[in-house]
Structure 1
C-alpha cells in the first residue's frame, strides 16, 4: 500500500497536517493508533488555543501582542525554549482561526470560570472533542483515508529519508511522512526510567496519573531516537504536569479533574507543611508547575486547603472536596498530622497582610515572615466550612521529542530530512523546555501541524513529478 503523504497520529497536530496536505493536492493516509471512539489523542481534552492578536477579534478581547505572548512563554519556560520556533508559533497563532473555521471549528466566549484568559485564549465551542470531530469530518470530505486501531510499530528510513511504516505486519510506503503520534506519558516503564528513585527510595512515576490518552506510549519516538539516531530535544522528566484530583482515573480524566483553587488557599504535603508560593502569578500561567511540585513531595501527594471565602471563585472539579467545620477536624479526615498541620496554618494565617483582595489582578494581599511566602491573594484560612482536595501529579504530555526547524523537518545529525516531518507533542520540547501556559500546546500543534503538512505535500508532489518525468 502507498500514498503521497502518510500522517502518523490522530490528534490536533496530525489532523492539521492531513488537512493541509490534502488541500495542497496530495493523497493522504492518516493512521490513528486508538479505536475510533477514542480518536483524537489528548486533543479531545483541550478547551482553547492561545492566540496573539493586536486588536479585539470576535471572542478575544483587547490585544495580546507578540512581545507579551513571548514574554509569558519566556517566563514559564525559564528561557528553555528556541526563540525562533517560539515566535514562529506565536505569529502563526494570530492567523490560524479563519482556517480552523473553514474546517468546522467554532469558537465561543470563555465560561465564567475562565474569564481571566478571555484576552489571551480562544475557546472551542464544544471543547476539544468538537474540534477533533470537525477536523475528521473535513478530512473525510477532502478524501483523506483514515485507519483506526493502526499503531505504527516501526518505520524504514534510508539516509534520512522516510520510506515506509509498519502497522501490524503491513508495510505502508509513502513519498513523505508526518510524525504526530504524541509523547510517552502513558508508558509507565519509560516514566519510571526517566524519573528514577528519589532520595526517599520512592519511584515517583508510580504515583503519576495520566490526564489524557492511554495510547501515547512513545513507541515511535523511542524508535526514532534509539534505532534511527534522530536528533533529540528536551529533558525526559519535563512535561505538562498538573496537580489533579487524587481520585481521578488513571487515564483520560481530562480538564475536569484539575484542581483550580490553589491560588485561593494553601497547599500542604502529607507532613502538613507548605512547600511553594501558591500566589506567585495568575493561575493560567502557573497551574502547570504544580504537578511537578507535588511529584517532588513525599508520596507524590498534597492537599489544597481553602475556606468558605474561596467557594464560587474557581472552576469546581468533578469530585467534591472533603469538608469539615474546623481545621483540626479537616486534618483528621484527610489523614494529615494535626499538630504539624495546625502549626502550618496558624503561621500562615498570622503572616497574612490583607489589603484589597482581587483574584483578577496581582493584588496586594501577601504574607510576611513565613517561608514559603504567598505573594498574592493571601487571606487567612479562618472561615468555616473548610475544604481539602487531595492532589497527585497528572501528566498531560511529555517534552522529550525530536529536534526540528522552521520547516518541521526531523533532523539527523543536524541535517534536516527532505521528506520526514514532525508536529505536536513529538516536537513540543523545541518550544517548551519546561513549564506551560494555558493553550500553548494547541498553538504549537496547530502551527507545526500546518507547517508539516504543507512541506510534506510539497516533498511528496515533487517526488511524484520526478517519478513521472523519469517514467
Structure 2
C-alpha cells in the first residue's frame, strides 16, 4: 500500500495537483479509496500545474446548443441571447477526425476513441461532481456576425476565470471530499503495491530534456506554464520498467508574447500572453518575410503548431501585423495595452522603421512583402468580388487568383493591410506541453511495461504524461478533456486495487 510514513497509510497516492491529478483523486475517492493523497513538488503558490495557465477550454462531443445550455452559467435557455447563437453539433466523427487529421493519422486510435466517446459524460461529471462553472466561449470561439454569435472550430466550452477557475473548482471539491494535498513533496521512488496515479505533466519546463528530444533550438522556447513540469513522471515510471511512446519530437507550442518571462508562466496574466490574432492579419519574420499560411484553418486548429514555426525563424521571433480594419477584432485579454507592447504607425514605411529598431533586419523586404500581399489580395478581390470576409467561417478570401498568386498563400480571411493606423506586436514561441510520454491501457489508464506490454499492477497515468494521443498538433481544448477522461478512469481502477 502506498505509504508516506509509519503512521500515514493511503489507498491511493496521486502525483500532481493539476486538472488531471485532481480528477483522478476525486474519482479514486468516489470509487472506494478511503484515504487519498495528492503530492506535488511545487509550493502551494503553484498549485494546479499547467491547467492553471489554460483558458479553461474543453472540447467535447455535443448535440448542439440545447445539449449544452443546461451546464453553462452565462446563457439561459429561452433567453434573447440564446436565440441569437449559431452552434452546430460536434459529433464523435468530427472530434475523431480532428485529432487524426491534425496528427497526420499517427495518433493511437484506441486512445482517441476513449477520449472522444467519454468526452460528453466527463464534461457532465465535471459540472456535477466538481461544480465546474462552464461558459460558452464567446470571447475565444465566436464572432458577432450580422447580429448573431457564430461559433466556429468545433470547440464551444470554457470556464469562468479560465484555468484559474478550473483549479479553484478542483481545490474546493478536493477539500470537500477530504482529500489531502501535500506540497513541497517531491517523489523520488515508486512503490506500486497498491495504487499510484502519475499526473505530473510532461518535460516542457526542462531545457535539457527539450534539447534532448525536441532539438537544441527548443532550449530557447519560453515556458508558458508551471516551471515544475520537468519530466519527473517519466523518470520514475521508467525506473519500474514503463514503456515510453508517442511523439517525442512534438509539442504544443503557440505564438507567445516576446516580452513574457523565459522559464515560467505568469500566475497573474497566465494565458493572456497568448497571441492568437494572426488569422486577422499576417506574420512577418526578421528577414521581412511571411512564413506560414495564417488562414490555413481556424485558429484553434493551428495555434498549437505555429509557435514551432516562429521558433524556426531568424532570432526565434516575428511580428504579427494588422491595420485599422481588423485591430478592433483582436481579443482584449491578449492585446490590451496593459498586456502587450504595441508598435503603432501611420504608414507601412513608418512601421518598418520602428520595427528596425526592434530587430527587423531587412526593411526593404518587409515593404516588398506587404506590397506583394496587398497586391495579391486586391487581385483576388477583383476576380471574386462576391466572396465576403467572415471570420466565423472559412470564407475562402485568399491571396490566390488567376492574375496573381503568392508562393505562400493566405487561404482565408485575407484582407488588405492598407488602412492606417498599422499595428505590430512582437512574438516568440511559448511551449505548453510535450506529446511524448508513457504508454497506457486506454480502458484503465494503467501504465504498460516496456518488455511485455502488460499493465504494471497499481500504476496509472493521466494528463500530459500520457503518450500516443497527440502528434505534431492537436485540436484546441482537447488537453483538459483528455486529462479528465483518463483521470476518471485511473481513479476508478485505483478503487479496485485493494479489493
Task: Give the alignment's Cα RMSD to 1 decimal.
Answer: 1.7
Choose which of 216, 232, 240 in structure 1 pairs with 2:229. Answer: 216
SS in 2 for 1:393: strand
- When normalised by structure 2's length, the TM-score is 0.84
Return the alpha-carbon distance in structure 1 between the equivalents of residues 472 and 98 of structure 2: 13
CA apart distance, 1:119: 5.6
Return the alpha-carbon distance in structure 1 between the equivalents of residues 279 and 88 of structure 2: 25
1:293 and 2:309 aligned = yes
Paired residue for 1:168? none
Aligned residues: 437
CA apart distance, 1:117: 4.8
Q: Is the 8 A contact 2:190 2:240 kept in 1?
A: no
Choose which of 430, 433, 442 in structure 1 pairs with 2:480. Answer: 442
CA apart distance, 1:235: 2.8
1:319 and 2:340 aligned = yes
Return the alpha-carbon distance in structure 2 between the equivalents of residues 453 and 420 of structure 1: 11
Deviating beyond 4 angstroms after TM superposition, the runs of 4 or more aligned structure 1 residues are none
Change in CA separation of 1:117 and 1:449 when aligned onto 2, cut-off 3 Å: farther
Change in CA separation of 1:154 and 1:322 when aligned onto 2, cut-off 3 Å: farther
Instruction: Give unpaired runs (5+ residues) of structure 2.
Output: 76-86, 143-150, 382-386
Choose which of 349, 362, 369 in structure 2 pairs with 1:328. Answer: 349
Paired residue for 1:139? 174
Paired residue for 1:397? 433
Q: Deviations over 1:19-45 (max 9, x none)?
A: 010011212111022111210001112
Return the alpha-carbon distance in structure 2 between the equivalents of residues 295 and 4 of structure 1: 45
1:36 and 2:37 aligned = no
Return the alpha-carbon distance in structure 1 between the equivalents of residues 152 and 374 of structure 2: 30
1:451 and 2:489 aligned = yes
Paired residue for 2:137? 110
Q: Is the 8 A contact 1:43 1:128 kept in 2?
A: yes
Paired residue for 1:172? none
Choose which of 387, 408, 413 in structure 2 pairs with 1:377. Answer: 413
Paired residue for 2:53? 45
Return the alpha-carbon distance in structure 2 between the equivalents of residues 152 and 454 of structure 1: 23
CA apart distance, 1:113: 4.1
Q: Deviations over 1:168-213 (max 9, x none)?
A: xxxxxxx2110000011111111122233xxxxxx41232101100
Choose which of 446, 457, 461 in structure 2 pairs with 1:409. Answer: 446
Return the alpha-carbon distance in structure 2 between the equivalents of residues 29 and 292 of structure 1: 37
Instruction: Give unpaired runs (5+ residues) of structure 1.
Output: 157-161, 164-174, 197-202, 463-471
Q: Is the 8 A contact 1:52 1:69 kept in 2?
A: yes
CA apart distance, 1:273: 0.8
Return the alpha-carbon distance in structure 2 between the equivalents of residues 118 and 392 of structure 1: 24
1:94 and 2:140 aligned = no
Return the alpha-carbon distance in structure 1 between the equivalents of residues 181 and 293 of structure 2: 47
1:246 and 2:253 aligned = no
Return the alpha-carbon distance in structure 2 between the equivalents of residues 118 and 269 of structure 1: 27
Q: Is the 8 A contact 2:251 2:435 kept in 1?
A: yes
Which range moves more in the overlay, 114-123 or 47-56? 114-123
Q: Is the 8 A contact 1:113 1:313 kept in 2?
A: no
The aligned runs of 1:455-466 (5 Å cut-off) are 455-459=493-497, 461-462=498-499
SS in 2 for 1:50: coil
Return the alpha-carbon distance in structure 1 between the equivalents of residues 437 and 195 of structure 2: 20
Q: Is the 8 A contact 2:19 2:480 kept in 1?
A: yes
- When normalised by structure 1's length, the TM-score is 0.89
SS in 1 for 2:255: strand
SS in 2 for 1:10: coil
Return the alpha-carbon distance in structure 1 between the equivalents of residues 133 and 277 of structure 2: 29
Q: Deviations over 1:60-94 (max 9, x none)?
A: 94411100111111221111201121121012111
Paired residue for 2:297? 281
Paired residue for 1:351? 376
Q: Deviations over 1:125-145 (max 9, x none)?
A: 222222212212222222212
